[in-house]
Amino acid sequence: MANRMILSRKEQFDREIASYRGDDPLKLRYEFLLWLDSNFGKDKVIDIFTSTLEEALNTHWNDTRYKEDNRLIELQMIYVSNQC
């Protein structure tokens, strides 16, 4: 049941990302990562969590809008802590 809900939400997330036209694309990825972690724990959904996290960092790393954005900094810290 949980796997189905996760996959359904991931598909919805992918559609939202593909059609997003706003000025804060990091928001969608950040909120999806928070949803995964708060509902399942990132360790239980590590594949989806890690791929989404890496996508967020790769996409927004050099974006000047996010140079001092606390969300991106938090995601960087999560990424580094997962590497240890």
> For residue range 5-42, what is the model confidence (pLDDT) as tens digits?
899 999 999 999 999 999 999 999 999 999 999 999 98
> What is the tally of structural domains in the chain?
1
Q: What is the pLDDT of residue 1?
A: 61
Domain of 33?
2-83
Q: Which CATH number characterizes residue 78's domain?
A: 1.25.40.430
Q: pTM to 2 decimals? A: 0.89
Q: Is the pLDDT of residue 84 over 80?
A: no
Are 12 and 46 within 8 A, CB to CB? no
Q: At what angle do helices 25-40 and 2-19 cross, to 10 degrees?
A: 170
> For residue range 34-81, what is the model confidence (pLDDT) as tens digits?
999 999 998 889 999 999 999 999 999 999 999 999 999 999 999 999
